[in-house]
Structure 1
Amino acid sequence: MDGLVLYIGNKNYSSWSFRPWIALTAAGIPFEEQLIPFDFEAGNPRFRDISPTGRVPVLHHGALRVWESLSIIEYAGELFPDAGIWPEDVGDRAMARSISMEMLSGFRALRSACPMNIRREKRAIDLPEGVTADVQRIENIWREVRRRSGGPFLFGGFSAADAMYAPVVNRFDVYDLVSSEDTLEYMSAMQAHPAWVAWRDAALQETWIVPEDEA
């Protein structure tokens, strides 16, 4: 079987790249990383050569191309069913997929106003309409599922759902958006995970700078 090759963007900025990368890394799934930086105003023309959408992330598996973060995570979970990408309990899996899809399709006010930026100095901003509601909804999701599972992650052990919300942890932190004890406890668990630390350390070494925008 051909190996998996995951094409990603800058680790400092690319939230959608972060999601499948941390999911596969945390699950111990082997893959080759290929980073193509956002070093042009409109991204990078090389993206068109490797992705049907002209965007990253995209996973290559032989001749197969799998794009979009959640699709990549799902595909890896099917290839490696014993890796624990999704929770073991069927009800937990259903809930994990539901909140992952909510992250995929929602929270646009938060994502637009507060782009992921690992290197950003922590400071608050004036929040546009909709951001506070997004923050409250996410905190309620985290609180509910961690109360059911007992933590430390959303469904006990690290899963795809945590990967889908990983960039939000950075946003909540660097834009100083939250203060509740249970939210900060979850964020601390995420930021201490070895896969998170590896991504963060690599992001801190990057020198590319792009204007803040939704990522």
Structure 2
Amino acid sequence: MKLLIGNKCYSSWSLRPWLLMRVAGIAFTEQLVPLDEPGFKEAVFAAAPGSGGTLPLVVDGDIAVWETLAICEYLHDTYPQAGIWPRDKAARAQARAISSEMHAGFMALRSSCPMNLGKRFAGRDRGPGVARDVERVTGLWRQARERFGAGGPFLYGEFSAADAMYAPVVTRLDIYGIAVDPVSQDYMQAVLALPAYREWLAAALVEPWIVAHDEVDEPALVDLRSH
């Protein structure tokens, strides 16, 4: 199985399946295709001619799967014992629902606070849209933790696809110094402390590429990248 991803510093969508597969112990080879670089589309279409030309992309023999939620479902079908989704039916239903909400929503947070793992910014008011998104996200986290989280530090106890879907949100709240409630803060720390996430972050900080449209036009408190 091969996983094609974009730059680790910026590609929030690529982080999701990569993190999920690492934590689940699913073996794969990684192909990084730099975003906004010449030959990007050609490389993606070469791997999967019928895809949408976007990343991430899983290629498993003659099967190609793009779109992150579709990748999660393919992994669940292929590795049914890997814990991709929670085993409890009610938890699994909610996990899929909040993952779909993540896939389609929270546009204010995503557009105002792009993922850039190399920098940290001062906390400040980022507008009512971002505030509403943060309130909704943390409300979902608290609900999942309260109802289903007894078996571990993640949304449904053990790490699942829902945690992978929200991992880039965790990084955004951390990067931009956005205050959250204690339950959400504890959850964020569990995600940020994952060895798999630390591996991804270490690789992100030594990447040579700069993606201009994901560079926020404000002074950074800290620039962690080496160029």
Do both share a fold (TM > 0.5)? yes
The question of whether the paired residues in 2 share the 8 Å contact of 1:39 and 1:208 is answered with no
Q: Secondary structure at the match of 2:163?
A: helix
Tell me the TM-score normalised to structure 2 length.
0.87
Contact 1:36 1:44 survives alignment (8 Å): no
| Secondary structure of 1:48's aligned partner | helix
SS across alignment from 1:135? helix
Deviation for aligned residue 1:205: 1.4
**Could you tell me how far apart the structure 1 residues matched to 2:141 and 2:40 are?**
32
Aligned-partner residue type, residue 73 of structure 1: C
Return closer, same or farther for 1:44/1:176 CA change in 2, 3 Å cut-off: farther
Displacement after TM superposition at 1:59 (Å): 0.6
Residue 147 of structure 1 aligns to a residue whose secondary structure is: helix
Aligned partners of 1:195, 1:175: CA distance in 2, in Å? 22
- Could you tell me which residue of structure 2 aligns to residue 169 of structure 1? 170
| Aligned equivalents of 2:203, 2:66: Cα separation in 1 | 23
Q: In structure 2, what is the Cα distance between the partners aligned to 1:106 and 1:194?
A: 28
Residue deviations 1:120-147, cap 9 Å, x none? Answer: 1232355244111000000000011111
User: Partner of 1:81: helix, strand, or coil?
Assistant: coil
What's the secondary structure of 1:101's corresponding residue?
Answer: helix
1:48 equivalent to 2:49? Answer: no
* 2:34 is the alignment partner of 1:37: yes
Which residue does the alignment assign to 1:23?
20
Output the amino acid matched with 1:161: A
Contact 2:106–2:133, Cα closer than 8 Å, also in 1: yes
Matched residues in 2 for 1:185 and 1:42: separation? 41
CA distance in 2, matches of 1:146, 1:41: 43
- Letter of the 1:66 counterpart: V
Q: How does 1:64-143 map to 2 (within 5 A)?
A: 64-124=63-123, 126-143=125-142
User: Which 4+ stretches in 1 moved above 6 angstroms?
Assistant: none
Shift of residue 74 of structure 1? 0.9
> 1:30-66 deviations in whole A, cap 9, x for unaligned?
1111111114289654333334211111110111110
Deviates more, 1:87-96 or 1:30-39: 30-39
Counterpart in 1 of 2:154? 153
Contact 2:13–2:68 at 8 Å: present in 1 too? yes
1:8 pairs with 2:1: no
Secondary structure class of the residue paired with 1:205: coil
The alignment covers a number of residue pairs equal to 211
Where does 1:169-188 land on structure 2 (aligned, <5 Å)? 169-188=170-189
TM-score by length of 1: 0.92
User: Structure 1: any 5+ residue segments left out of the alignment?
Assistant: none
Compute the RMSD of aligned alpha carbons: 1.8
Task: Give the whole-Å Cα distance in 1 for the aligned partners of 2:119 and 2:41.
Answer: 23
| Contact residue 37 and residue 44 of structure 1 kept, 8 A | no
CA deviations on 1:155-179 (whole Å, 9 max, x unpaired) are: 0010100000000011000111123
Instruction: Report the residue type matching 1:110 in the other structure.
Output: L
Separation in 2 of the partners of 1:181 and 1:74?
A: 31
Distance 1:128 1:180 in 2: 19
